[in-house]
Amino acid sequence: MQKRLLSFIKYAFFLGLGIFLVWWSLHKMSEDNYQKFLTSLQTANYYLLIPVFFILAASHVSRAIRWKILMKSLGYAPKLSNTFCAVMVGYLANFAVPRLGEVLKCTILARYEKVPADKLVGTIIVERAVDVLSFLIVILISLLTQAHIVGEYAKNFFNTYILSKDTTMAAIKIAVIVIVLVAGFFTARYVFKKYSHIQFIQKLRGIFNNIIEGLLSIRNLPNKWSFIFHSVFIWACYLAGTYVGFFAIKETSVLPVLAAFPVLVFGTVATMITPGGIGSYPELVMKSMLLYSIPEAFGAANGWLQWSAQFIIILVMGFVCLLILPYLNKPKHEISTVNS
């Protein structure tokens, strides 16, 4: 009960933050900027959302294939349809409760494909680690190719948050976290060895070993190059979708291809702040476009369009996948009976 209450409070906080950012980003606009914002949305080229839809859909399919590669290294071969549906339902769930999607993805495949959920947790962690690495590479490319634009901003950010007076406190927090993790590891190792005769400890040890096995699955990948290809392709789709989205509004269509890198960085950070980036995504995209001298009203309008496109894709495809999952996994004789 207490855990559910804590989860609800956490979700309510981040959702409230997102709603506040929606209100704040619109409220702080001057009357002139607000009218330009509305005009931009009214005159936007909404047909461009169609190619963005297919580009982002391709990234989701690629993510499902990459996950299948990880599971194959563990000796499991789930159907692509189930894996893709699990990915989309997971995205949909994340809009409701942050990180719920990761749990739901594992639950769906455990139910329909009989893949142990605890092993899947390890593969999810591997995926997230690869995504973090990919994100850092995108940041690096942004700094190397757009140093004259984002370099000064990055320098100010570094001075403010890294070299601030709170540096000592931040270092202490990091040290405490490391010590706790190391102590936790050795404590768990001792308990598993000392009390291995207890059934609960045996079960707990089995879950822990399955998670470790999932984490180490990357060593036994049957096709490492395919895994790398899909990892690159996923982020290439994110960049392509961002760039195509620039053309939805006349004033942002002048942005160069390389501008997609910092805009994607800001947009990705936004999705970490609030559920699905609600409120924060348009605001941070607008901030990134200010670096390219795009007026606030047009940057905000483009941010809202790009966020809306992503939201609609996940909403539609997530609900469709949720509805068809039981049908896709019906025994063949049941399907033939229904059709007759």
Task: Give CA angle at 180 (177, 182), nearest 5°.
Answer: 110
Q: What is the rounded distance in angstroms from the CA atom of residue 168 to the CA atom of residue 164?
A: 9
Residue 170 covered by a domain: yes
Both structure tokens of 296: 């606030």
Intervals of the chain under pLDDT 50: 11, 14, 17-18, 21, 23-24, 33-34, 161-163, 333-340
In tens, the pLDDT along 96-136 reads 676 778 888 888 888 888 888 877 887 888 888 888 888 88
Work out the burial of residue 264: count CB atoms within 10 Å of its CB; fewer than 13 is exposed, 13-18 middle, 19 or more buried.
buried
Work out the burial of residue 110: count CB atoms within 10 Å of its CB; fewer than 13 is exposed, 13-18 middle, 19 or more buried.
middle
Residue 292 covered by a domain: yes
Q: What is the rounded distance in angstroms from the CA atom of residue 83 to the CA atom of residue 299?
A: 36
Q: What is the rounded distance in angstroms from the CA atom of residue 129 to the CA atom of residue 275?
A: 20
Q: What is the rounded distance in angstroms from the CA atom of residue 26 to the CA atom of residue 5?
A: 31
> CA 14, 20, 23, 26 torsion: positive or negative?
negative
Domain limits for position 309 = 47-330
> How much is the pLDDT for 242?
94
In tens, the pLDDT along 216-241 reads 666 667 788 899 899 999 999 999 99
DSSP, residue by residue, 41-110: HHH--GGGHHHHHHHHHHHHHHHHHHHHHHHHTTT----HHHHHHHHHHHHHHHHHSTTHHHHHHHHHHH
Residue 22 covered by a domain: no
Total number of domains in the chain:
1
DSSP, residue by residue, 114-145: ---HHHHHHHHHHHHHHHHHHHHHHHHHHHHH
CA dihedral 144, 150, 155, 156 (to 10 degrees): -170
Q: How many CB atoms lie within 10 A of CB 251?
A: 17
Residue 269 covered by a domain: yes
Residue 30 covered by a domain: no
Q: What is the rounded distance in angstroms from the CA atom of residue 310 to the CA atom of residue 314?
A: 6
Q: What is the rounded distance in angstroms from the CA atom of residue 245 to the CA atom of residue 312?
A: 14
Instruction: Give the number of residues written for the chain.
Output: 340
> How much is the pLDDT for 168?
56
> How much is the pLDDT for 115?
85
Q: What is the rounded distance in angstroms from the CA atom of residue 65 to the CA atom of residue 218?
A: 14
CA dihedral 167, 169, 175, 181 (to 10 degrees): -120
Residue 225 covered by a domain: yes
Residue 7 covered by a domain: no
Residue 27 covered by a domain: no
Nearest Cα to Cα of residue 105 among 130, 132, 123: 123
Both structure tokens of 131: 């995504």
> How much is the pLDDT for 336?
43
> How much is the pLDDT for 327?
87
